[in-house]
């Protein structure tokens, strides 16, 4: 699951025209350990909530700890990333749409599935 979520996040980030910047939080912490503990609590709460995926906390680099939550939205998903850079908390979120990748594909319906199913297509002479 971890690998698939990281691939999802990487593909979603790759789809951004420009990287969404982190916005500083109004919440402050005495030190990096307190900020990391806050992220661990948030991730635990998210796992018990209505999220489709939760990852973290994990350390990306020394002093850079992050969590990600993912929620399905229509034909895509919303990704929320929170980061502790030392004792400073910040966050960002973005939507990754699967529609951009499937622009030429028609909307899925039973009829569209039947039209595209190779085993339902009749060969020459109606066979």
Per the structure, the complete domain to which residue 12 belongs is given by: 2-100
Structural domains of the chain, count: 1
Give the pLDDT score at 120: 54
| Residue 96 covered by a domain | yes
Angle at 26 between CA 41 and CA 2, to 5 degrees: 35
Give the pLDDT score at 14: 46
How high is the mean pLDDT of the chain?
79
Q: Could you tell me the CA-to-CA distances from 115 to 98, 112, 124 in Å, in that order?
A: 22, 5, 17
Range in 7-11, 33-37, 56-60, 99-103 the model is least confident about:
7-11
| Residue 105 covered by a domain | no
Is-above-0.75 flag for pTM?
no
Identify whether the C-beta of residue 57 lies closer than 8 Å to the C-beta of residue 66. Answer: yes
| Residue 34 covered by a domain | yes
Mean pLDDT of 48-73: 93
What is the arrangement of strands in the sheet containing 76-85, beginning at the earlier edge strand? Answer: 23-28, 88-97, 76-85, 64-73, 53-61
| Residue 112 covered by a domain | no
Mean pLDDT of 55-66: 94
Query: What are the tens digits of pLDDT across the range 4-41?
Result: 544 445 444 444 446 889 999 999 999 999 999 999 99
Mean pLDDT of 79-99: 93
């Amino acid at each position: 699951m971890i690998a698939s979520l990281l691939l999802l996040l990487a593909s979603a980030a790759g789809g951004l025209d420009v990287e969404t910047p982190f916005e500083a939080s109004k919440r402050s912490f005495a030190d990096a350990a307190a900020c990391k503990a806050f992220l661990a609590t948030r991730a635990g709460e998210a796992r018990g909530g209505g999220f489709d995926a939760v990852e973290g906390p994990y350390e990306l680099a020394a002093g850079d700890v992050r969590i990600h939550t993912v929620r399905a939205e229509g034909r895509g998903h919303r990704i929320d990333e929170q980061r502790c850079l030392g004792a400073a908390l910040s966050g960002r979120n973005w939507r990754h749409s699967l529609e951009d990748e499937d622009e030429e594909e028609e909307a899925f319906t039973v009829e569209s599935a039947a039209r595209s199913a190779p085993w339902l297509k009749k060969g020459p002479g109606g066979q």
